[in-house]
Amino acid sequence: MSLRSKDLTGLKDLSTDDINLIIETAAGFKDVLGRDIKKVPALRGRTTVNLFYEPSTRTRTSFELAAKRLSTDVINVSVSTSSVVKGETLKDTARTIEALGADFIVVRHACSGAAHFLADNLGSSVINAGDGTNEHPTQALLDIFTIKEKKGSVAGLKVAIVGDILHSRVAKSNIYGLTKLGAEIKLIGPPTLVPLCFGDLGPSVYYDMDEGLKDADIVMTLRIQSERQGKGFFPSTDEYFKNWGLTSKRLLKAKEDVMVMHPGPMNRGVEISSDVADGERSVILEQVTNGLAVRMAVLYLLSGAKQ
């Protein structure tokens, strides 16, 4: 079985069947990760290039490890994107890397559509590791995998996503993916960061945290980037925490067996309180482990999709 496309640019264009295939395949890889020898020879001789135009530790490390555990060779290319010094174009850089024989190009870029652009211009498999404010498909896939693992199924679950929806590629990918699998999504946050038109994508929009959390099976909190504060999206992180911070008291509004997720890195005391982050409802660390399994599954399934 393989994915229909040679690339993974987002969940918007991924079929439900393909999402399920990735999730099911990831289960097999999670077995591998539980062993003493956590490496399989499946993709021996292949080359993975992590092309990162934005600093990232978690995602890059996760992709690197996933690629290594499939026995591909991995090269990390970090490009600083100074708009002052105009360097090589994205296309030229990527084509150079492809000419070196890269089978997989994992790209993170500040511009929305960058992965899409490379996918159109390259023969290698392009995997989107986050493009601007567009999508971060593997993060959403690992979230879905975690939800399925814990809750059995996604259909019918109430998923509350809290925070900076406007700028969040994680939220976008989750909205697309979870909606396809039949979840009911509630978006919660300040009006400046949750434009009403998100409702046109399917979810309902709440400004009142308590109201939005009602009966939620899952609460996903998003990282609040401190630079948003100065841009007038909200007056201060203190005020943000007061209105939209996830505390154990607020969590009582949700279902008793609610599961708390966060894509990391967390700002404790801004979007989530420490007792919730470290509490028994939190699966935040398991998300990280599952991320490896999901990324292995994606690499493996894309390797068969040539032509």
Partner 1 sequence: MNILVKNAKVIDPSQGTDGICDITIENGKIKEVRKSGGAEARKKTNADVRTSAYAGFEVIDAEGLLVVPGLVDMHVHLREPGFEYKETIRTGTEAAVRGGITTVCCMPNTKPVNDNAGITEFIINRAAREGACSVYPVGAITKGQKGEELAEFSIMHDAGCIAFSDDGRPVMDSLLMRRALEYSKILKALIISHCEDLSLAAGGVMNEGLVSVTLGLRGIPPQAEEIMVSRDIALAELTGGRLHIAHVSTAGSVEIIRAAKKRGVADITAETCPHYFHITEEVAAGYNTFARVNPPLRTRADVEAIRQGLSDNTLDVIATDHAPHHMDEKTVEFDNAPSGISGLETSLGLSMKLVEEGVLSLSQLIEKMTLNPARILGLLSGGTKGTLRPGADADLVVVNTKDEYRVDPGGFRSKGKNSPFDGWTLKARPAITISNGRIFRWE
Partner 2 sequence: MPKVLLDKKDIERAITRMSHEIIEKNKGVSSILLAGIQRGGVHIARRLASKLGLIEGTEIPVGILDIALYRDDINVRKEQPVVRRTHMPAEIHGLKVVLVDDVLFTGRSIRAAMDAIMDLGRPSAVQLAVLVDRGHRELPIKADFVGKNIPTSLDETVRVQLSEDGLEDMVVLE
Q: Which residues bind partner 1 (CB under 8 A)?
A: 12, 89-91, 109-114, 116-117, 121, 131-135, 166, 169, 172, 195, 197-198, 200-201
**108, 116, 169, 186: which is the annotated catalytic residue?**
108
| Distances, alpha carbon 146 to alpha carbons 1, 75, 165, in Å | 22, 28, 21
**4, 38, 44, 58: which is the annotated catalytic residue?**
58
Out of partner 1, partner 2, none, what residue 194 binds, judged by CB under 5 to 8 A for its kind, is none
Name the residue nearer to partner 2 (CB basis): 145 or 300.
300
Out of partner 2, partner 1, none, what residue 116 binds, judged by CB under 5 to 8 A for its kind, is partner 1
The answer to whether the Cα torsion of 231, 81, 222, 276 is positive or negative is negative
165 close to 194: Cβ distance less than 8 angstroms: yes
271-306 in b/e form (b: 16+ CB < 10 A) is bbbeebbeeebbbbebbbbbbbbbbbbbbbbbbeee
Annotation marks residue 86 as catalytic: yes
- Largest Cα–Cα distance of the chain, in whole Å? 55
How far apart CA 146 and CA 289 sit, in angstroms, is 10
How far apart CA 154 and CA 185 sit, in angstroms, is 11
Classified as helix, coil or strand, 221 is strand
11 close to 180: Cβ distance less than 8 angstroms: yes
Name the residue nearer to partner 1 (CB basis): 12 or 151.
12
Label the pairing between strands 158-162 and 184-188. Answer: parallel
Question: Smallest distance from the beta carbon of 7 to partner 2, in angstroms?
Answer: 15
Name the residue nearer to partner 1 (CB basis): 69 or 136.
136
Annotation marks residue 108 as catalytic: yes
**136, 172, 180, 250: which is the annotated catalytic residue?**
136
Contact residues for partner 2, defined by CB under 8 A: 1-2, 25, 27-29, 31-32, 35-37, 39-43, 45-46, 70, 297, 300-301, 303-304, 306-307
Residue in 169, 172, 147, 141 with CA at minimum distance from that of residue 159: 147
Out of partner 1, partner 2, none, what residue 197 binds, judged by CB under 5 to 8 A for its kind, is partner 1
**35, 57, 86, 231: which is the annotated catalytic residue?**
86
Question: Smallest distance from the beta carbon of 116 to partner 1, in angstroms?
Answer: 5
Name the residue nearer to partner 1 (CB basis): 131 or 164.
131
Question: Smallest distance from the beta carbon of 54 to partner 2, in angstroms?
Answer: 30
SS3 for 6-42 is CCECCCCCCCHHHHHHHHHHHHHHHHHHCCCCCCCCC
Annotation marks residue 59 as catalytic: yes
Question: Smallest distance from the beta carbon of 21 to partner 2, in angstroms?
Answer: 9
**59, 72, 138, 146: which is the annotated catalytic residue?**
59
Out of partner 1, partner 2, none, what residue 172 binds, judged by CB under 5 to 8 A for its kind, is partner 1
Out of partner 1, partner 2, none, what residue 28 binds, judged by CB under 5 to 8 A for its kind, is partner 2
Residue 60: CB atoms within 10 A of its CB come to 20
User: Catalytic site residues?
Assistant: 58-59, 86, 108, 136
